[in-house]
Structure 1
Amino acid sequence: MREQLRLIDRVRSACRADTDLDAALMYGSFVQGSADSHSDIEFWLFFTAPPSQGPRAWIERIAPVRYVVLNEFGSHVAFFPGLIRGEFHFAGVADIASVRDWPASPVEIIVDRHGLLGAARPAGEIDMTADVCGRFANWLLLAHHVGRRGELLRQRDALAHAQRHLLWMARLAEGRTGH
């Protein structure tokens, strides 16, 4: 886990030094206090203008990367030495307002040059139970319909998403988030 912490410190430094970066936050297991040696590092970066040399060059400020892929959710995933995975969402300042609707909590605000990120965070607690249960139902219903259509591989994929949410519901019910 030491290497992930070193990378996180380097991301924090890069964020503070980048004057084109208006706001940045970290989320995930390191913020939640549940990280282990297999945990990835996860960030949202809100720029006034896109990085001039592109996302990969920005990520390479942190450490050498073996590979960077734009995943299906629109985030850049970097493979750092030691098979450490880093997830970087590159967004514009206009996207900061969407933070209010995020279920991801807690987050660590790294940079907030104009106070927009802090203002966008919900003041109250997010109802994680309703959110997770609703997403579980969504994936389960999708699995049902694509299965009935005969799309069995797509059904398995949807059931895998439903299974993940079922695990999260069990953790919420038990009041434990341990692995």
Structure 2
Amino acid sequence: MLIQKKIIQNVKNKCIEDESVSACMMYGSFTKGEGDQYSDVEFYIFIGNHDINHFNSRHWISEVNAADLIFYNEYGTEVFIFSNMIRGEFHFLPESKMEIIKSFKSTGVFPNPESMYIYDSTEQLRPLLEGLGGSGPERMTDKNVNFAFNNVVNAWLMGVNVMKRRELARSLEILTQVQKYILQLIRVKEKTVERWLNSTKNLEMDISVESYHDYASITAKLRECELKTAYHNALKVVEKLYHNLGTFYTVDIDQGFIKKLYIHLNE
């Protein structure tokens, strides 16, 4: 039995025995049938409105599984590094905020909302989860494709300019943004947009060998020659995607503009 499965069961048991817990849902890999020994466990736990102010999340989790490190990440999510080296992400919210679940619909595809259900004493959770079912948001649109092309150009130009200033570390950081938007365009081309917001997940199996090689060509180490090659290759991939997607989508950039970017890189 996977350690994560035991933690999930412990969370469920704790929810059942703790009267301050109104409902609990899980999200992430284990709700999509993709969980393995390396996966995180991720939960939203709703606490009774009268109990939330004196609810101690650290004590609560310590009774689920021993943790070596507990902190809030940059998104305000409480992260637990369990003693068995499993990561857990927990959102503890008052019961009155349970309808936040409705906002999840715009973030992706939930193939089996029932798998997200852990516990509920309010009879509110299942209807909210059922609302997440069906197809996810439409990603293959003119708006999204244009957004990705435009943001590739924006990040690319910034990254090239700071590279020319010899801020190589900053250029390398910005390159990750170039990669992000190019990868979204690749996923549109290959019709694998279910992972639009987490585009690198399962990439080795989701896209073609050719596209994977294109993606690999825009990676670099902290060396000026590698950075320049990655930014040059990024233009080549953008040009290829422009010719492929420009047939089906309205795109602001054109071949003449891409040529100007090549010239700017080599000036």
Tell me the TM-score normalized by structure 2: 0.54
SS of the equivalent of 1:33 reads: coil
Deviations 1:38-65 (A, max 9, x none): 1111111111232735221121111110
Which segment drifts farther, 17-26 or 153-162? 153-162
Q: Within 5 Å, give how 1:35-54 maps onto structure 2.
A: 35-48=35-48, 49-50=51-52, 52-54=54-56
Structure 1 alignment gaps of length 5 or more: none
Distance in 2 (CA, whole Å) between partners of 1:59 and 1:136 is 44
Q: Is the 8 A contact 1:136 1:162 kept in 2?
A: no
SS of the equivalent of 1:82 reads: coil
Specify the code of the residue in structure 2 equivalent to 1:114: T
Which segment drifts farther, 145-154 or 67-76? 145-154
| Bigger Cα Rg | 2
Higher helix share: 2
SS of the equivalent of 1:115 reads: coil
Q: Is the 8 A contact 1:78 1:87 kept in 2?
A: yes
Deviations 1:101-142 (A, max 9, x none): 2135244211221122222231641425529x9499469728
CA shift, 1:172, in A, is: 2.7
Distance in 2 (CA, whole Å) between partners of 1:136 and 1:57 is 48
Matched, 1:120 2:128: yes
Distance in 2 (CA, whole Å) between partners of 1:74 and 1:152 is 28
Which segment drifts farther, 152-161 or 22-31? 152-161
Specify the code of the residue in structure 2 equivalent to 1:144: N
User: 2:154 aligns to what?
Assistant: 144
Specify the code of the residue in structure 2 equivalent to 1:25: M
Structure 2 alignment gaps of length 5 or more: 163-169, 195-201, 207-267
Distance in 1 (CA, whole Å) between partners of 2:132 and 2:193 is 24
SS of the equivalent of 2:37 reads: coil
Q: Is the 8 A contact 1:143 1:158 kept in 2?
A: no
Matched, 1:172 2:181: no
Matched, 1:86 2:93: no
Distance in 2 (CA, whole Å) between partners of 1:138 and 1:82 is 39
Which segment drifts farther, 50-59 or 95-104? 50-59
Where relative contact order (Cα < 8 A, 6+ residues apart) is larger, the structure is: 1
Would the alpha carbon gap of residues 56 and 128 (structure 1) be closer, same or farther in structure 2, given more than 3 Å must change? same
Distance in 2 (CA, whole Å) between partners of 1:114 and 1:160 is 44
Specify the code of the residue in structure 2 equivalent to 1:57: H
SS of the equivalent of 2:67 reads: coil
Distance in 2 (CA, whole Å) between partners of 1:136 and 1:81 is 45
Which segment drifts farther, 140-149 or 63-72? 140-149
Specify the code of the residue in structure 2 equivalent to 1:155: I
Matched, 1:55 2:74: no
User: 1:13 aligns to what?
Assistant: 13
| Count of aligned positions | 178
- The runs of at least 4 aligned residues of structure 1 exceeding 6 Å deviation read none
Matched, 1:109 2:109: no
Specify the code of the residue in structure 2 equivalent to 1:110: I
Q: Percent same amino acid among aligned pairs?
A: 23
